[in-house]
Structure 1
Amino acid sequence: MIVCLAAVGCAPSDDADPDINLQWEITPNPPSAGMAQLDFTLRDSTEQLIKGAEVKLEGNMSHPGMQPVLTTAEEIAPGKYSANIKFTMGGDWFILVKSTLADGREVRKQIEIAGVRSEK
């Protein structure tokens, strides 16, 4: 499984599933403290969109002691999911993405979001 964002690049997953590809992007880019939108696309190994997944997000800062930010993505079109997440402060964040596919398989991915800017 590969997660991609033009500004960050692509990185392999620790629990890679060669049958599932999760691509994502964030708006605004680069993000700042406050609300941001994460958009995801799920595809299978034949590049077909995967619809009907449940996608949950857990946002954490890279240092301990912060309460996680939890949200659920909504399917906005077949295979395309969107969620709003609130970065509570500037710094380095990571998002744990847990997708439960319609066939029951679970796909987990960690997205690194470095350098969230502080509010102005």
Structure 2
Amino acid sequence: MIRTTALFVVIGFALIGCRESAQPPTTTPEGTPQIDITVDTESTRVGDTVLIVTVTDTAGAPVDAQEIRVRADMTHAGMMPVLGQTDSGEDGRYRVPLQWSMGGSWTVTVTVVLPNGVTAEDTFDFEIES
């Protein structure tokens, strides 16, 4: 019995040691592009949609990105994230297909990767109708 308990304690500590450590928040350096997002449909309903991601500099001029990644997470536990990405756009506007899998509150994280490797990230909240 003591061996079994000791084994579970060792396994528990091993699992705790394997988890990802908390990362400090990153700050956005001056000159990092601004990100805006809109939905390319009349309503935000469950199903297919296209997110329009607009990337500009601080003066409002379009910025070319190497890649745009989108991760949509429901605000409650237990749902898998919905992912989307694109590497093509024009005049700082990028169309990212996405499929809302359920109605409710979603947090969308947009990551912009510039050709020089600099990344910018922003989050947006959406309410999706069933």
Which bracket does the TM-score occupy, shorter chain normalised? 0.7 to 0.9
- After the TM superposition, which segments of 4 or more aligned residues of structure 1 sit over 4 Å from their partners? 14-18
Over alpha carbons, which structure has the higher Rg? 2
Q: Is the 8 A contact 1:22 1:42 kept in 2?
A: yes
Counterpart of 2:71 in structure 1 is 58
Of the three residues 123, 126, 129, the one matched with 1:117 is: 129
Q: What is the aligned partner in structure 2 of residue 7 from structure 1?
A: none
Q: Which runs of 5+ in 1 are unaligned?
A: 1-13
Which structure shows the bigger proportion of residues in strand conformation? 1
Q: Counterpart of 1:26 in structure 2: which amino acid?
A: V
* Paired position in structure 1 for 2:82: 69
In structure 1, the residue matched to 2:38 is: 25
Instruction: Tell me the matched-pair count.
Output: 104
- Give yes or no for contact 2:55–2:93 (8 Å, CA) kept in 1: yes
Offset of 1:74 from its aligned partner? 4.1
Normalised TM-score (structure 2): 0.71
Q: TM-score, normalised by structure 1?
A: 0.77
Query: Match for residue 51 of structure 2?
Result: 38
One of 84, 89, 104 as aligned partner of 2:102: 89
Per mean C-alpha deviation after superposition, the further-off stretch among 17-26 and 41-50 is 17-26
Q: Give a deviation string over 1:13-33, Cα, whole Å, max 9, x none.
A: x95555221122113243000
RMSD: 1.8
User: How many angstroms does 1:77 deviate by?
Assistant: 1.0
CA drift of 1:66 comes to 0.3
Distance (Å, rounded) in 2 between the aligned partners of 1:53 and 1:43: 14
Distance across 1 between alignment mates of 2:69 and 2:75: 19
Give the number of the structure whose residues are more often helix, by fraction: 2
